[in-house]
Every structure is written in structure tokens, then in C-alpha cells.
Amino acid sequence: MLYLILLALIVGGVYSADITEGVALVRPNDLAAHPNLGGYVTFKQVSATSLAGGVTVDVSQLTGVPAGRHGFHIHQFGDSSSSEKVGGHFVPLCSMRRALDDTPITGGEILTCGDAALNRDCKCDEIHGFPPSAKRMPGDLGNLDCTADGCLLCFTGDTRQSGCAAVKTLEQEKMSLSDVLRSVVGRSIAIHKRPDTTPNITQFGLGDAGPAIAFGTIGITAPAAALPPATATSTSGDTNVAAPPGKPKAEKTICIFRKNVGTASDGGVNQDIEGRAIVSIDLSKKLAGATDYCNMRVEMYGVEQGVKSFHFHDHGDLRYGLTSNAEL
């Protein structure tokens, strides 16, 4: 009996309340070209207490992505207002040297990056590649393979018939939702126009996937209890301990408001509102002991006249907004 109770405690402790989750609502960069591109992608850290086991990515809820293969990455920054603002592929700890110049990566350097299950050497993180190899930037997620039925995620050698799947796990401890050093919270995901075709990781390159057709910013998933029934898919229980990046410390954050996809009749509301809110910290003021070191600037368009309430909310789970009657 004691054994059973202990087992229940262990299982409950790991899998009920502490799994860390993130979710990115995806929006097209050209609403006229892709009026139905939407949905969301979820990220779940397999272990609540360590990076071992990796992060599971679920693309099953993406909709309206054009048929074919599309490069799929996490990018460095959460400002999804342009391809320049999202930065390069997510590389949390190492120099971005290889993303900024044409320095070829030699075979010798490649040899120092083993293809073992775990390899955190910077040389492994700076090289563009495909999972499941360890020789890839942490933001390299492979390709999406989409049809009218939806999208699958594909790694090296995968085909739609064999290997590609709606839910796949990224290993090698390259990203996290609980570790501030490797956190993907607040970063952007990008769906590109063309396939990521990195056949040879010995050459510099980011895969020739072309421009991004859609972005989404990864936010902390709301606990299931806080979500409207239609979107209550989180298994986090009452808490979600996903953590935003801690290093380098951010002095400025931005929230991009994008026009909604869909029509009012299928749940799309406030379709004319767009803009951004920027919160920044004046470090010189803060270090000098001033109390007015935090500034906020809001640029919004399409809001009907009148007084509107404006809040920060607990989570970054924008599926809240998919239900027009959600009162928050």
C-alpha cells in the first residue's frame, strides 16, 4: 500500500501540476493573401524539473497554411512586426557570429560538435540544421508539411507518409519553458513561404526558406481552469511555471496587436484593431534611484472612440481572445 501511495505521489508530482507550457497564436503577415491562416502551436516541456526529455511541439491546430513544405523556426525576438525585428533563428546562449557574416563552417569545427543526444557546445547551437541532429540552432524546428487537412512537422528524412507528425519532440536540451537561460517564452515562431532546404550543414545558411508568411509569439499557457471551455486544452493544472528569458535582461518589451482572421460569424472580432504597446525601462534613471524609470507608449488604430479599459493579464495565452464573449 505504501508503495502505491508513493508511486501516486511521484506520478502526480511530475505530470499533473508542474508541466510547463507555452502557446503561440499564429497570424498571417498578409491578411489579404492568407485570410484563413491562423490557429496556434503549443510547446510543452516534457519534464517539469529538468531539460531532459526535450520540448514537445504540437502543430495540429494550425489552419489555412498553404499546401506544401514551409520552413518552421523559433526566432530570437518576440517583436513580430517585421522579419527584421524577429531577428535570426533562436540561439539563446552563444554568439550569433555565423548568422551575421559569411564565415564558412569548416569540417574541423563540425567534427567538434558531436551528434550525441546532448551537446551544448556553441558550435552546435550556431549551425543551421534540422532536428533530430544536435547540429542545429535551437530555433531550427524543421519543416511544416501542410495540406488542406492540416500541417505535420517533419525532421530530417521524414515524409508525410512516414515520420512527419502533428506532435514531435525536440531534444538535446536546446530549449526550455522553465529555464530562463534557454526559454522560448516571448520569442517568435515563423512559418516561411518555402521549404527549409538545409541539405549541407557545412555551409553557412539559414535554409533558403524565403520570407515569413506568418508569425506568432510564444506566451505562457493559461492553466486549464482559467480558459474558456472551447480552448481548455492545457494540462498544467492550477499553475504553469513557464519562465520568460532572464539573460540577457530585457530593457524593452513590445506587444503587437494584429487584425483578427476569420469573420465575426465564425468568432473573429475586432477585425480593424491593430497597433502596438511598448514598455521600456530607462536604466540610467533606475540606477540613479528615480521612481519614474518605466515608460509605456501605445499606438493603436481602429479602436472606436470612447474610454476603453487596458490591462496586463497573467498569461500570454491569446486563445482567450478567440471567444468573443470572454470577459477578463
Smallest gap from residue 71 Cβ to Cu ion (A) = 6
- CB count within 10 Å of CB 117 equals 12
Residues in the chain: 328
Smallest gap from residue 320 Cβ to Cu ion (A) = 26
In degrees rounded to 5, what are phi and psi of residue 154?
Answer: -125, 130
Residue among 73 and 319 whose Cβ is closer to Cu ion: 73
Cα 295 from Cα 303, distance rounded (Å): 22
Residue whose Cβ sits closest to Cu ion? 73
C-alpha distances (whole Å) from 300 to each of 4, 253, 292, 318 are 56, 16, 23, 18
Binding site for Cu ion (CB under 5 A): 73, 190
Residue among 164 and 190 whose Cβ is closer to Cu ion: 190
Smallest gap from residue 73 Cβ to Cu ion (A) = 3
Cα 114 from Cα 58, distance rounded (Å): 27
Residue among 174 and 315 whose Cβ is closer to Cu ion: 174
| Backbone conformation region of residue 203, classed left if phi is above 0, alpha if psi is from -120 to 50, else beta | beta
Cα 68 from Cα 66, distance rounded (Å): 6
Residue among 206 and 281 whose Cβ is closer to Cu ion: 206
Smallest gap from residue 188 Cβ to Cu ion (A) = 9
Smallest gap from residue 312 Cβ to Cu ion (A) = 28
Instruction: Judge whether 261 and 27 are in contact, CB under 8 Å.
Output: yes
Residue among 17 and 94 whose Cβ is closer to Cu ion: 94
What is the grid cell recorded at 35? 485570410
